[in-house]
Amino acid sequence: MLKQRIITALVLLPIALGGFFLLDGGAFALFIGAVVTLGAWEWARLAGFEAQSLRVAYAAAVAVLLGLLYMVPAVAPVLLVVAVLWWSAATFLVMTYPDSSRYWGGVPGRLLIGLLILLPAWQGLILLKQWPQANALIIAVMVLVWGADIGAYFSGKTFGKRKLAPKVSPGKSWEGLYGGLAASLLITLVVGLQQGWSAGGLLLALGGAAVVVLISVVGDLTESMFKRQSGIKDSSNLLPGHGGVLDRIDSLTAAVPVFAALLWLAGWGSL
């Protein structure tokens, strides 16, 4: 398994880095759209579609919607607002699972939830790529999420006792959450001091980083919740040793649109 993980990572890393940082405009939108479409194919299974034809049809529908969104950029602010509202609701669903499953609306509701997860994530990355210091912004949100993941792993392994969401993901602990949050805030603090941010700017950045990290945890737990309900360990086996696409981007699907929304509110980029 370790060998598979390493080989897959070595193959995907240059593709991912090239796609994120070397592509622009329509090429970037198409690259991210391909990733999101694969995620949609996986989500269809979590929503209850077992037939391959239905899963492909859902993925194709998502691809068409992405194309329409690209041609109608005026919808972008609406999607950011939708993302903030959805992830607020998802927090409630995760905290109250399994009772919350009655609110999902069956297969149609789960398919809609997939759109609420995937479309704003795509839109958020498209916006970040268009704003000043685009690549730095994309790196920033990834570092926040990955820093939180690493901090949570070591903190949880060392100090973890109280389960964060035992009915959703028994391996996660409150101590891990605190450790991951502390790691990301430390990264933000170091960057802010190096860049010479004002005290007010630094406080805003720390507050924003905390929101992004916490919502990224909700993104992770949300996918885990639907996998648990479906009795599925991994969203797919597209990435040998790593599971599926959704397994790798679940935290980012929540973090990216919320990160973009916070920057928008702060006046970083125009819509």
Tokens of 244: 């599926």
How much is the average pLDDT of 146-174? Answer: 94
pLDDT in tens, 166-218: 999 999 999 999 999 999 999 999 999 999 999 999 999 999 999 999 999 99
CA 224 – CA 157 distance, rounded (Å) = 19
**Which of 135, 146, 137 lies closest to 261, judged by CA?**
137
Looking at the chain, the whole-number percentage of residues with pLDDT higher than 90 is 86
Tokens of 230: 């479906």
Mean pLDDT check: name the lowest of 11-25, 88-102, 253-267: 11-25
With cut-offs at 50, 70 and 90, classify the pLDDT of residue 270.
Answer: confident
Q: Which residues pair with residue 243 across a beta bridge?
A: 239
Contact 118, 87 (CB under 8 A): no
Rounded to 5 degrees, φ, ψ at 164 are -75, -50
**Which of 10, 11, 45, 12 lies closest to 249, judged by CA?**
12
Please count the CA atoms within 13 angstroms of the CA of 241 that sit on its side-chain side. 12
Amino acid at 10: L
**Would you say residue 32 has pLDDT above 60?**
yes
Peptide bond into 98 cis (omega under 30): yes
Is 13 exposed, middle or buried (CB count within 10 Å of its CB: 0-12, 13-18, 19+)? exposed
Residue 246's SS3 state is helix
Secondary structure element (H or E) that encloses residue 15, with its range? helix 2-22
CA 217 – CA 148 distance, rounded (Å) = 9
pTM above the 0.75 mark?
yes
**Would you say residue 142 has pLDDT above 70?**
yes
With cut-offs at 50, 70 and 90, classify the pLDDT of residue 1.
Answer: low
CA 126 – CA 260 distance, rounded (Å) = 10
With cut-offs at 50, 70 and 90, classify the pLDDT of residue 2.
Answer: low
Q: What does the pLDDT read at residue 13?
A: 83
* Ordered alpha helix ranges (H), 96-232: 106-130, 134-159, 174-195, 199-230
* Residue listed under structure tokens 């933000």: 188
Contact 236, 245 (CB under 8 A): yes
Q: What does the pLDDT read at residue 148?
A: 96
* Residue listed under structure tokens 């000043």: 132
pLDDT in tens, 36-58: 999 999 999 999 999 999 999 99
Spell out the domain ranges in the chain. 1-266
Residues 6+ positions from 77 with CB-CB distance below 8 Å: 264, 271
With cut-offs at 50, 70 and 90, classify the pLDDT of residue 8.
Answer: confident
